[in-house]
Amino acid sequence: MKQRPSFPARLDSGKPQVAPKTLLGATRVVAAPSSRVKPVTLVSPTGVGLESSTIRARMVKKLAEQGIQDAVVLDAMNRVERHRFVDSALVNQAYEDTSLPIGLGQTISKPNVVARMIALLREAPGLQGEPLLGRVLEIGTGCGYQAAVLACVAREVYSIERLRGLHDKARENLRTLRLPNLHVIFGDGMVGYAQGAPYSAIISAAGGESVPQAWIDQLAMGGRLVAPTHTSTGQQALVVIDKTPQGLQQTLLEAVNFVPLKSGIA
Ligand code: SAH
């Protein structure tokens, strides 16, 4: 049988009446000046966060073994408490490399996919030499987890979600993290978010038939877009698009399995 992380079990045995998420939620993320490479610091006033930090460190070690080499990305994955973003019934799976349901038929991406996509953004030839990504647009806030990770590696993050229920949930999940450089928006990300453009990076957590023209238009020169999209064989794969003075450069990468990109709000 698969080994489960032990921290909720230990918490349960000590305090059976309290949901693990509530207890672990006592660990706070406090924002630091956004010009620094490490914009957030973990504060654990009660010490209960130590249990999840051990398991998170194990997840990060596994990500490194799986080929994620970017220390800034690994550090961000270590800072954001994924268990805060999933339902309490799923807390003991929060640090496994698996996607999890977040309600309304949507899923939070696997940690490996989140780390991989953000590392790809940071590898953009046009963005080299920058300690942080500049303005980033995320399509598909979902539960807000990836948005929080992005806020650790970018100066400004705009994250848009089309489902009101998830937008509200993300707001609630993110409230105590106090990330002043993260803006969550309710709207149809199919048309991007012109108010924040141009973006040095655009990342989509939902896959469409093709990459909407609005995203390309809102991408800054030298910027990079990473999104799941359908290929000619009908499969879904990650696509990287770089906006260069010579034109758009598109690279098709590995097959992925994201929820569909849909238009309109609901
Ligand atoms: N990054 C999220 C992943 C959520 S799953 C997380 O960390 O939880 C992808 C999300 O994209 C879903 O919540 C879905 O509702 C949303 N989505 C799909 N099409 C969209 C659109 N056109 N605009 C905004 N969000 C969209």
Enter the pTM of the model. 0.85
Report the nearest-CA residue for atom 4 of ligand 1.
Answer: 142
What is the position in ligand 1's atom list of the atom closest to the CA of 140? 11
pLDDT in tens, 182-217: 999 999 999 999 999 999 999 999 999 999 999 999
pLDDT in tens, 100-122: 999 999 999 999 999 999 999 99
pLDDT in tens, 74-97: 999 999 999 999 999 999 999 999
Alpha helices in 80-199 (DSSP H): 111-122, 145-153, 164-175
pLDDT in tens, 158-169: 999 999 999 999
Confidence of residue 32 (pLDDT cuts 50, 70, 90): very low
Number of Cβ within a 10 Å radius of residue 245: 7
Q: What is the pLDDT of residue 61?
A: 98
For each of the domains in the chain, give its residue range(s) and CATH number, in order of start: 102-255 (3.40.50.150)
pLDDT in tens, 54-66: 999 999 999 999 9
pLDDT in tens, 118-154: 999 999 999 988 899 999 999 999 999 999 999 999 9
What's the DSSP call for residue 208? B
Residue 69 has pLDDT above 80, yes or no: yes
Q: How many CA atoms lie within 13 A of 214 on its CB side?
A: 14
What tokens were used for 112? 């490996």
Q: What's the CA-to-centroid distance between 163 and ligand 1, angstroms?
A: 8
Question: Residue 196: phi, psi to the nearest 5?
Answer: -95, -10
- Residue length of the chain: 266
What is the position in ligand 1's atom list of the atom closest to the CA of 264? 22
Q: What is the mean pLDDT of residues 210-229?
A: 98
What tokens were used for 264? 């309109």
Pairing between strand 259-260 and 206-207?
parallel
- Residues linked to residue 255 through DSSP beta bridges, in sequence order: 237
Q: Is 53 an active-site residue?
A: no
Q: What is the mean pLDDT of residues 45-50?
A: 45
Active-site residue, selected from the candidate residues 99, 109, 159, 204:
109
Residue 1 has pLDDT above 80, yes or no: no
Q: What is the DSSP string of 56-76?
A: HHHHHHHHHHTT---HHHHHH
| Ligand 1 and 257: CB distance under 6 A | no
Report the nearest-CA residue for atom 17 of ligand 1.
Answer: 140
Confidence of residue 49 (pLDDT cuts 50, 70, 90): low
Q: What is the pLDDT of residue 81?
A: 97
